[in-house]
Structures are given as C-alpha cells and as structure tokens.
A and B are shown apart, each in its own frame.
Chain A
C-alpha cells in the first residue's frame, strides 16, 4: 500500500516553510528519498518537512457573526474625528 505525503520546503534559513507538492510512497523512508530528489536536488531547499497527508487538518471556516471590527484596522476610521479635533484645537489648515 502506498499513501500520499505532503512536502514543505524552506528556501533559505530563517524563511517560512512553504507547501511544495506531494509524493506517493509506501513508507517514510521512500517518502523522504522521493521528496529529497523531487524538491531538493538542485539546492533549491535548505530543509524539507515530509508529512503524511492524513496528519493535516484543514480549517477553512472563520465566521464573524458579531462583526467584530474593533480588533482590526478597518474598525478605526479617524478622518472625521481628527478634523474636528484639529478645528477645536485651532490647528486646522484652512
């Protein structure tokens, strides 16, 4: 039996690992060998993560029922208030 292994590669030290693709292999030893040949043979990676596809849990639902914009920058529109404050302080440019 073979299974799918997802491969993530790091291009340079300090960078984030990025999904590169996948390999099919009967076990981790083969998966490592295939990933090594497929995603690292030209020095394009300094490290690889080889992960069984089953071990990955994807979450893709992020509801925002309460419309919570107070913890995002789009929740703060200061233009009008700033104008008023400048007028009150007498620093507004005419």
Chain B
C-alpha cells in the first residue's frame, strides 16, 4: 500500500493496527496527538488533587481520590498506545516536564474554590467526553479500543461533578454564589477547549481520520448539551452574546484564540508551578522505580 492508498483506506473508515504498515507522517501525527491526550490526563489530576484534603466530607474525599486514580489510569493506558507506536513513556514524561510537548488548556488554570472542583468534574469532563466519544471511530484501532474503557469511566466523573454542583445549588446563597463565580472563571477556557474552528479539510488530524469530528462541531455539541443544564439551575452563562439560533446553531462571543495559543505553549497561570510539581515528584520517586526494576531483574 502506498501513502495515497493508505489515505483513501482510512478516509473510507478503514482501521489500522500497530504492526500494519503506515506512512511516517501518519505515525508522527498519531504520536503527537495521543501523547498530548495522555499528558492532559496526567496533568489534569493536579487541579483536583489540590482539593482532596479540603473536600467537604469523607465521601467527597473518596470520590475525588477515585476520580484522580481514574485519570492517572487513563494516562497510563494512553501512554501505552504511544509506546507501541515507538515513543517510550520515559521520553514522553521528559518532554512533558521540559515543556517540549503540550497538554490541554483547561489544566493550566488554578482551582480556587470547591465550586471550581464541581465545575471541572461536570463541565470540563463533559467537554472532554465529547472529544473522546468522537475518538471511538479513530482510524488507529488500539486507540479507539482503549477509548471505550475511558468513556465508560468518565461517565461517573460527570455524575460526581453534577452532584457536587446540585448540592451547592441547594445550599446557601453563599454556596450558589460560589458556583456562579466558578462558572464565570471557567467559561472562557471551556469555550476554547475544542480549539479554533479550522475547517476539516485543513486539519491533517481529521484528514487521517485520527479525529472524526471538527472543532466547531464538538463545541456546538457541548453548548447544545450543557447550556440548558446550566440555565435550568438558575445560573448565568457569562456571555451576553450566547444564544441558540432558529436553525439550532449556537452563537457566542469569539473566544480569545491568542490566549489559547499562549496557554498551551506553556504560558498559562499555573503552567510553571504544575510542571515543577511533576518534575519534583518524578525526582522524589526515582528510587521507587530503581528498586522495582532492580528487584525484578
């Protein structure tokens, strides 16, 4: 099979296994895309981890711990897919810490209150699920298969997030205020989450059928699914232009794409601190890895 034949094969829904022949460009695009996904799962636990000890009840502490374990597990599963494509996990972690590779914009922001924890688990996970569900049809089969398990685990995260939000909304005025403030902080990053609306024909990741959904399509799906859920709780979405047109398309204030670019290239409010945390824990746990490897040898 040549490159053109391969392209036609994946575009018509064909799937590829690890040992199949694939064009080098496809392999490189896969590695970059999947590695960023794994990085995001790993970095995504840090905003929530900060709240495990501060969570209001034992039940909440346990649930948050379980969610953190799930997300780290997702990172492990996804790094495995990258490893089989030829890039070792150690290299992925080194590139993450040095800032050579990227992770999702939403994980570069601070978690100020318990309201933020609820908004993250509910809406950030919801936005992520929309992207991940679209990966179930990815042309690279091992990635698509692992996504099935990940989506299954994610559904508990959204419920946990909604439960946190509903509990706060049933509480005092102060608690409702907490949720509204968190939503105000997270709305802009959420609107950037699915990326700028590049047309599918200009997006190589869509052309290779690594992703089967365009950025704007994903964002519309998010707005359609979740804005009504936000409104029904009496919360306000902090965008005066947001409205659903007659034809079903959502209009909104253009997100600040410069901010998105700057954040994902390592200039977010929490980027340096969180990468430093990863670097330090990696150093501190080096002895565990060497003991495990030495004992097993």
Contacts and interface: CB of A to CB of B under 8 A. Distances in A.
Interface string B250-294: 000000000000000000000000000000000000000000110
A27 to B, nearest CB: 4
Contacts of B296: 1, 26-27, 30
Contact of A1 (B77, B84, B145, B293): B293
Interface string B165-183: 0000000000000000000
Given A1-B297, A26-B297, A37-B73, A21 B146 contact: yes
Contact of A38 (B76, B145, B292): B76
A19 B145 CA distance: 10
Contacts of B89: 24
Nearest to B79: A24
A48 interface: no
Interface in A1-57: 1-2, 4, 19-24, 26-27, 30, 37-39, 42, 44
Interface residues of A, number: 18
B83 interface: yes
Given A37-B73, A38-B76, A21 B149 contact: yes
Contacts of A58: 19
B131 to A, nearest CB: 20
Q: Which secondary structure dominates chain B's binding surface?
A: helix
A26 B73 contact: no
Interface residues of B, number: 18
A30 B83 contact: no
Nearest to A3: B296
Interface string B37-77: 00000000000000000000000000000000000010011
Given A37-B73, A38-B73, A22 B80 contact: yes
A44 B146 CA distance: 14
A44 B76 CA distance: 18
Contacts of A26: 292-293, 295-297
Contacts of B149: 20-21, 39
Nearest to A2: B293
Interface in B14-43: 19
A33 to B, nearest CB: 11
Contacts of A22: 80, 84
B41 to A, nearest CB: 13
B77 A38 contact: yes
Contacts of A4: 84
Contacts of B77: 21, 38
Interface centre among B77, B146, B297 (most CB of A within 10 A): B77
Contacts of A37: 73
A26 B296 CA distance: 6
11 contacts: A19-B145, A20-B149, A21-B77, A22-B80, A23-B76, A23-B80, A26-B292, A26-B293, A38-B77, A39-B149, A44-B152
Interface of A: 1-2, 4, 19-24, 26-27, 30, 37-39, 42, 44, 58
Interface of B: 19, 73, 76-77, 80, 83-84, 89, 145-146, 149, 152-153, 292-293, 295-297
Interchain residue pairs A-B with the least CB separation, the first 3:
A26-B296, A27-B296, A26-B293
Given A21-B149, A23-B80, A44-B152, 4 more contacts: A1-B296, A21-B77, A38-B77, A58-B19
